[in-house]
Amino acid sequence: MNRTPLRRSLAARLPVEFRTLLALLALLALCAAVPARAQEDRKLSMREAVALALQNSRELALARVQYTVALNEVGVDRSVFQPNLYTGSGAAYTNGFPSIGGAPPAIFQLNYNQALINPALRAQQHAAEEHAKNMKLEIDRTRDNVIVRTATAYLDLANVRHSLDLLRKEQASAEKILGVTRERVAANQERAIEVTRSELTAARVQERIVRLEGRDETLMQQIRDLTGVGDTQAIEVDTAEPSFATDQQENELANLAMQSDRGVQEAENDRLARQEILRGARRSFWPTVDIVGQYSLLSTINNYTEFYKGFQRNNITAGVQITIPLFAAKTRANVALAKSELQLSELSLGSKRQEVRLEIRQKAQDVRELDATREVARLDLKLAQETVELMQAKFDQGRATLRDIEEVRLDENDKWVAFLDADFARQRSQLTLLQATGQLAKVFQ
């Protein structure tokens, strides 16, 4: 029985709108599947990863908020030297002389005050400004820390994945050696202990692979947390090897570190703040001057006429208030305290400078040592590669076995992994040196 005409007749009876709707739904499903597949992998360059980390860093956002808080604290200390106007109204019952807090009760009252000369308060304002500068430095420090963490995680992930590729090749070689060894043992050409030795070699390679696979997952999650990349997206790193090397001399690096070190700058700002506090404490022996003013609207309900010869409803007072300290024991104590705090700050600054000078020299020495270590690892790898070439030539001539060539390939892969580890250690040390000398932001601009 021919069913083709029946199918065609059923399709013909379907409404045109329904067939169009089905076609649109199929097209939408196809379009939705393409982006979903495209979003499975996300290739990030190091600069892009650092930029995303700076945008998504909660630590950096917190540092900015703390800087805003410090600026607002400066505004609070500065406000006493700006106009301050208050108003109020009230009613009170009095039996006797009309007074509330030394002033007559008023229907409406307007008060104005502004500090004009007050060394102690002015010193507090300047000290708060120096504290705000330290909060600004905290933003820079946090930014550099985010850059270093992101770049280090990125480089570590690239190193781990390269090492995994090498170890998987090494695993294949170890399996081949194990197979050849078993055949030779079966043919009574090798002792049985050689099988165990080959199995141990393969197991060690597998152990390293498992360890690196776990490290890969950890680093990917760390980069996701730093950059804000979704958990459903796999991260591909750029294989291009960045360079963080610098040809500056040690004295030049030390000078850059002294100029850009956040700890030294904070210590300098703290010393300036202590100097301002000491200056303000000493000037507190001088008079203070405030601008004051008051307007009061009074009424007769509080029996003013019984105590005053005349009554005036509207009252205005304006002028300056001068306070002259005659004997101020607290001021002398504040001066002594400010002197000791300034001395402590100066000693801390000197110690911090010496500490930074020693640290930068140690960091520069670490970079030189790791450069030498990398060069040794590179030559060791080169020697292993040349050994593989010689063994391959012997194998082609029939003078070497498959086991011999796989063993030298195992050694080559080990040298590769050692070189990658040495290269990563050098890059991490170079990043630390750039951060210490204030050149990190320029590299990732």
Residue 39 burial (CB count, 10 A): 12
Reading phi first (left if > 0) and then psi (alpha if -120 to 50, else beta), residue 228 is in left
Statement: residue 12 has pLDDT above 70: no
Confidence at residue 250, expressed as pLDDT on a 0 to 100 scale: 82
Statement: residue 20 has pLDDT above 70: no
- Under the banding of pLDDT at 50, 70 and 90, the label for residue 410 is confident
Confidence at residue 70, expressed as pLDDT on a 0 to 100 scale: 93
Statement: residue 299 has pLDDT above 80: no
Provide mean pLDDT across the span 127-142.
92
Confidence at residue 353, expressed as pLDDT on a 0 to 100 scale: 92
Q: For 70-124, what is each residue's pLDDT tens digit? A: 999 999 999 999 999 998 877 777 767 777 766 777 888 899 999 999 998 999 9
- Under the banding of pLDDT at 50, 70 and 90, the label for residue 375 is very high
Statement: residue 33 has pLDDT above 60: no
- Under the banding of pLDDT at 50, 70 and 90, the label for residue 28 is low
**Of 19 and 396, the one with more pLDDT:** 396
Beta-bridged to residue 316, according to DSSP, are 295
Provide mean pLDDT across the span 298-327.
81
Q: What is the pTM of this model?
A: 0.77
Per-residue H/E/C for the chain: CCCHHHHHHHHHHCCHHHHHHHHHHHHHHHHHHHHHHHCCEEEECHHHHHHHHHHHCHHHHHHHHHHHHHHHHHHHHHHHHCCEEEEEECCCCCCCCCCECCECCCCEEEEEEEEEECHHHHHHHHHHHHHHHHHHHHHHHHHHHHHHHHHHHHHHHHHHHHHHHHHHHHHHHHHHHHHHHHHHHHCCCCCCHHHHHHHHHHHHHHHHHHHHHHHHHHHHHHHHHHHCCCCCCEEEECCCCCCCCCCCCHHHHHHHHHHHCHHHHHHHHHHHHHHHHHHHHHHCCCCEEEEEEEEEECCHHHCHHHCCCCCCCEEEEEEEEEECCCCCHHHHHHHHHHHHHHHHHHHHHHHHHHHHHHHHHHHHHHHHHHHHHHHHHHHHHHHHHHHHHHHHHHHHCCCCCHHHHHHHHHHHHHHHHHHHHHHHHHHHHHHHHHHHCCCHHHHCC
Reading phi first (left if > 0) and then psi (alpha if -120 to 50, else beta), residue 322 is in beta
Provide mean pLDDT across the span 31-42.
49
Confidence at residue 345, expressed as pLDDT on a 0 to 100 scale: 93
- Under the banding of pLDDT at 50, 70 and 90, the label for residue 26 is low
Confidence at residue 24, expressed as pLDDT on a 0 to 100 scale: 55
The CA-CA-CA angle for residues 224, 229, 234, to 5°, reads 80
Q: Pick the range with the lowest mean pLDDT from 12-16, 264-268, 358-362.
A: 12-16
Provide mean pLDDT across the span 316-324.
90
Q: For 229-261, what is each residue's pLDDT tens digit? A: 888 777 888 777 677 888 788 888 888 888 888
Confidence at residue 4, expressed as pLDDT on a 0 to 100 scale: 44
Q: Pick the range with the lowest mean pLDDT from 3-17, 141-155, 242-256.
A: 3-17
The CA-CA-CA angle for residues 356, 265, 443, to 5°, reads 75
Confidence at residue 39, expressed as pLDDT on a 0 to 100 scale: 46
Provide mean pLDDT across the span 269-273.
93
Tell me the domain boundaries of the chain. 46-82+118-286+325-443, 83-117+287-324
Domain spanning 46-82+118-286+325-443, CATH architecture:
Up-down Bundle (1.20)
Provide mean pLDDT across the span 214-226.
91
Statement: residue 37 has pLDDT above 80: no
Statement: residue 22 has pLDDT above 60: no
Averaged confidence pLDDT in the chain: 84
Confidence at residue 280, expressed as pLDDT on a 0 to 100 scale: 92
